[in-house]
């Protein structure tokens, strides 16, 4: 079965830029989306179709996808961005989630 | 405004069948491109996609759980139902339903419902 790999944790200082990776075989051939989940809350979509932002998501969130790796980048990270982030790959038959990355804003 | 809400038992016994209902508003599951999916999350663990049903009744299942899952829709009631057979304690999780459009992401999620599997 298809698998996506994310680093378990990443840390960043407020105001800095952080990238969270998501790796999978030929991931660039699939659409990737990213979700933010804060404790006790439902996930929120922050990036879809590799790089598009839903309405209401700040411009500091951006995404890319090429080869075997997709990346979520948060520029000017704020304390409110501390959360778990999950990537998800979509194609005709695959809708698998990554294992999640805990982002800590120090 | 799109909203979804999950409902069902909070406690099921091992080997029993779980039936969850997702009741939604703000969209129609007869509209081209629209889908509703189910995702679960064991306590402290990652999200796991389970199933997805589209406006045209096309259905997709997680390969790992396909033999245990059935997803159906009732367009007139604005509901999607997920059944999972042969429940086990490892199936203890929060179960979410979510809206999908364009088949590339779950853009709106329900609040989730916690299901515990225990004798």
- Sign of the CA dihedral B36, A74, A41, B92? positive
Q: Where does the pLDDT of residue B52 fall: very low under 50, low under 70, confident under 90, or very high at 90 and above?
A: very high
Report whether pLDDT(A93) > 80. no
- Tell how far CA A43 is from the center of its chain: 11
Report whether pLDDT(B102) > 90. no
Question: The tokens of A102 are what?
Answer: 């805990």
Nearest to A95 among B49, B110, B112 (CB): B49
* Angle (CA) A38 A31 A62, round 5°: 50
Report whether pLDDT(B103) > 80. no
Of B14, B6, B7, B10, the closest CA to residue B114 belongs to B10
Q: Where does the pLDDT of residue B44 fall: very low under 50, low under 70, confident under 90, or very high at 90 and above?
A: very high
Question: CB–CB of B47 and A93 under 8 A?
Answer: no
CB neighbours of A103 closer than 8 A, spacing ≥ 6? A9, A10, A11, A12, A18, A20, A74, A77, A81, A82, A83, A84, A85
Mutate to test the interface with B, among A95, A99, A100, A102 (most CBs of B within 10 A): A95
Contacts of B111 in chain A (CB under 8 A): 42
Q: Where does the pLDDT of residue B101 fall: very low under 50, low under 70, confident under 90, or very high at 90 and above?
A: confident
């Amino acid at each position: 079965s298809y698998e996506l790999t994310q680093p378990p944790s990443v840390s960043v200082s407020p105001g800095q830029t952080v990238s969270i990776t998501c790796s999978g075989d030929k991931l660039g051939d699939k659409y990737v989306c990213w979700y933010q989940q804060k404790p006790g809350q439902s996930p929120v979509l922050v990036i879809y179709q590799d790089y598009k932002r839903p309405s209401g998501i700040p411009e500091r969130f951006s995404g890319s996808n090429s080869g075997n790796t997709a990346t979520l980048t948060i520029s000017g990270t704020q304390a409110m961005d501390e959360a778990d982030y999950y990537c998800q790959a979509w194609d005709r038959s695959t809708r698998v989630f990554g294992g999640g990355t805990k982002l800590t804003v120090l | 405004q799109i909203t979804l809400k999950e409902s069902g038992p909070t406690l099921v016994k091992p080997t029993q069948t779980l039936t969850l209902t997702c009741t939604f508003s703000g969209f129609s599951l007869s509209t081209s491109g629209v889908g509703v999916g189910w995702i679960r999350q064991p306590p402290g663990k990652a999200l796991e996609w389970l199933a997805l049903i589209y406006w045209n009744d096309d259905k997709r299942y997680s390969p790992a759980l396909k033999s245990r899952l059935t997803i159906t829709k009732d367009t007139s009631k604005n509901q999607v139902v997920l059944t999972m057979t042969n429940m086990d304690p490892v199936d203890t999780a929060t179960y979410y339903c979510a809206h999908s459009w364009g088949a590339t992401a779950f853009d709106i999620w329900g609040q989730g419902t916690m299901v515990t599997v225990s004798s």
